[in-house]
Amino acid sequence: MQTRNLGSAAVSAFGLGGMSMSGAYGPSDRDESIATIHAALDAGMTLIDTSDHYGAGHNELLIAEALRGRPRDSYQLSVKFGVLLSPDLRPGGGQDSRPEALRNFLAHSLVRLGTDHVDIYRPARLDPAVPIEETVGAIKDLIDAGYVRHLGLSEVNAETIRRAHAVHPVADLQIEYSLLSRGVEAEVLPVLRELGIGMTAYGVLGRGLISGHYDPNASAPGDFRGHTPRFSPGNVEHNLSLVEALRRVAAAKGCTVAQLAIAWVAAQDPSIVPLVGARTRERLSEALGAADVTLTAADLAEIERAVPAGSARGDRYPSAAMASLGVGN
C-alpha cells in the first residue's frame, strides 16, 4: 500500500477506523472484528484509529488483542480522548480536555492498548471550557515525555487549527468528509494545505448511506444512525436516491459505489487519508479496491453532477451534537 503524510507522520494511504466494531452500528462479531484488523494489517494498512469512548474502552481492548505479537513499529495508533459517557454508554456529557484529565485518559488508553505510546493523540471534540492552547500544551508535554508521537485535532474550525498549531505543530485533523459532507472545503481544507497539516477523513461512506449496501429496513438494535437526521424518514429516501445516480457512474468506471466514494475523498488532496470503518473482511476487501480506482477530471465532474455539493438532506448529527462541531455539514 502507498503511504501519505499527516504532517511529519508517514502512514498508510488508507486507515482502519474501529468505531463500528464496538456497537455503534449494532452488535458486531468479536472474532470477525479481529480477523478484519489482521486482514487490514496484512494488506499494508498501518494506521488504526480509535477513541477511549468507543464501547467505553471496549474498542481499545479489542485492538490490543488483535495487535498482540505484532511489532510495535509496524502500526500506528490514532487515539481520541475526552468524550464523557453516561452509564448506558451514550455520549452527551460533553468533552473534558483539561490537562489533568487528558493525562488520566492517556494512562487508561496506554494500559488498554498494551503500549507505551500512541502515535497521534487528539481531543475528540473541542472543550468550550478549556482554551485549546492549554490542551495542546499538555499534549506537547506528553510528546516531550515520549508518551505521544504527534498532535492531532478532531472536528474543529479553521481558527482553532491555527491557534493549536501556534503552540505545537498539528500533524492531523480528523473530520467527517465525504460526498455528502463537504463543509470542510470552504475554510478548513485551505488552512490545512497552508499549514502542511494532514486530514484523516471519517464517514467517507456517509456512515453507510453511500456504501451501496445500506438497507433502511434492516437497522440493528443499538445502531445510532436511527437517531441522526440524514437517516430519518423522508431524508433517507432522498439520500439513497443520490446513491443510484452514483451507482451509474461507478458501473461505467468498473468499480463499486463504495470504491468510487472512497476514491473521490482520496483524490481531493494527497494529504487526506480516508478512514475505512469496515467491521468485516468482506467490506474491508471491497474498500481496499478503491486504491486501484484512478479518477480523471472528467470522472470527478461526472461524480459532482451525480452528487452535487449540498445535495444531502439532514444534518450529519442530531442538533445537540451539531452544536459541538467546528464545521457544519
CA 2 to chain centre: 19
pLDDT at residue number 280? 96
pLDDT at residue number 106? 98
- How is the chain split into domains, by residue range? 3-322
> What value, to the nearest 5°, has the Cα angle with vertex 101 and ends 37 and 228?
55
Catalytic residue, chosen from 54, 121, 177, 317, is 54
3-322: CATH number: 3.20.20.100
Quickly tell me which residue has 463543509 as its cell.
183
54 catalytic? Reply is yes
pLDDT less than 70: residues of the chain: none
pLDDT at residue number 216? 78
CB atoms within 10 A of CB 75: 22
pLDDT at residue number 92? 80
User: In this predicted model, what pLDDT tens digit does every residue of 139-165 receive, in sequence order?
Assistant: 999 999 999 999 999 999 999 999 999
Q: What pTM value is reported for the model?
A: 0.94
Contact criterion met (CB below 8 Å) for 216 and 291: no
